[in-house]
Amino acid sequence: MSAKVMNGTEMAKEIRAEAAEGVAEMRDKHGIVPGLAVVLVGDDPASKVYVRNKDRAATEAGMVSESIVLPDSTTQDEVLSVVRRLNGDARIHAILVQLPLPDHIDEDAVIESINPDKDVDGLHPFNMGLLMAGLPRFIPATPEGIQQMLLRSGFDPEGKHVVVCGRSNIVGKPVANLLMQRSAGSNATVTVCHTRTKNLADITRQADILIAAIGQPRFITADMVKDGVVVIDVGINQIEAPERKRGYRLVGDVDYDAVSEKAAAITPVPGGVGPMTIAMLLLNTLKAARYFMHPHLRKLGG
Ligand code: GUN
């Protein structure tokens, strides 16, 4: 079998166009332009690229976009005061602090300082709790992007065995919670594996849908999946590639070529989950602006 390639770039383009339409309508009908602020601390090259892409995407969708780039030497109090300023800025409906933060900054304290109504990353404990309770308000962008990729590719998770490899707050935990919800587009049976899981391959081989969010290049090999599996590869790893001008190339957490031979469908890296994350961030920003205009919608999850 040769896998169907789930093209995240194409799907993200459609979603970004939907976001742009929503922005135009809000601006024309209500005179409100959704605003996104992204805060980057330090000079991690990958994070810089992500932040630049988010800024560009928000601007292209017609949003107000503010990127705040702070040096590595920034103190925790300084970061907290930037977040406080953004919490009180009426032009900004959505705040994202790019992770990871430098070691001297307490990530939890920063996330908890974000006004939950502007927490489009869905990482504030309040929003994580709502997701867990089955009342999601802001679903983290990568998990929601994964769900959209599955649905838009015709792979409804309902009744399927989804195996998630990875238990991070950004991907593993929320995607497991999301796909096990009692709601359309979810209703999966979910198993979460992690670094201490015994007999990992025995479990991954049971997956109808396998989500790899491990952070190790080509960790999932062909012998770890069953024929016909649907594979979502969240990993973005740099590996040395002397033949390339920049000296490296990007690979996922899945051994793409070999696993493609067995899978029914697979996401590429790059061009899979990554672009979807940005597209869902734009939809969450639009949602935050809608909630700002109509607070009663928040309760309805509208
Ligand atoms: N770093 C990598 N992915 C993400 C994300 O989705 N949100 C934030 N805030 N930081 C990230």
pLDDT digits 0-9 by tens, 226-235? 999 999 999 9
- What are the pLDDT digits (tens) for 99-143? 999 999 999 999 999 999 999 999 999 999 999 999 999 999 999
Among candidate residues 56, 88, 119, the one where a domain is terminated: 119
pLDDT at 15 over 60: yes
Question: How many angstroms from the chain centroid is the CA of residue 36?
Answer: 16
Give yes or no: residues 58 and 167 share one domain.
no
Give yes or no: residues 66 and 147 share one domain.
no
pLDDT at 163 over 90: yes
Give yes or no: residues 149 and 95 share one domain.
no
Q: Pick the range with the lowest mean pLDDT from 177-181, 210-214, 218-222, 295-299.
A: 295-299
pLDDT of residue 294: 87
DSSP assignment, residue 192? E
pLDDT of residue 301: 61
**Which one of 36, 54, 68, 99 would you pick to mutate in the ligand 1 pocket, going by the greatest count of ligand atoms within 8 A of its CB?**
99
Question: If pLDDT is split at 50, 70 and 90, which confidence band does 300 have?
Answer: low
Task: Give the domain CATH number at 223.
Answer: 3.40.50.720
248: left (phi over 0), alpha (psi -120 to 50) or beta: beta
Q: What is the pTM of this model?
A: 0.96
Atom of ligand 1 nearest to the CA of 141: 6
Ligand 1 center to 247 CA (angstroms): 25
Peptide bond into 100 cis (omega under 30): yes
Give yes or no: residues 168 and 261 share one domain.
yes
Ligand 1 is surrounded, with C-beta below 6 A, by 96-99, 121, 141-142, 170, 277
Task: Give the domain CATH number at 113.
Answer: 3.40.50.10860
Residue 287 within any structural domain of the chain: no
pLDDT of residue 295: 85
Domain region containing 45: 32-119
What backbone phi and psi angles, to 5 degrees, belong to 208?
-80, -35
Ligand 1 center to 99 CA (angstroms): 5
- Residues marked active site are found at 54, 98, 121
Q: For the chain, what is the mean pLDDT? A: 97
Ligand 1 center to 94 CA (angstroms): 14
Residue 90 within any structural domain of the chain: yes
Interatomic CA distance for residues 206 and 208, integer angstroms: 7
pLDDT at 254 over 90: yes
Give yes or no: residues 85 and 209 share one domain.
no
Domain count, the chain: 2
pLDDT of residue 173: 98
pLDDT at 1 over 80: no
Determine which residue's CA is closest to atom 3 belonging to ligand 1. 99
Ligand 1 center to 179 CA (angstroms): 20
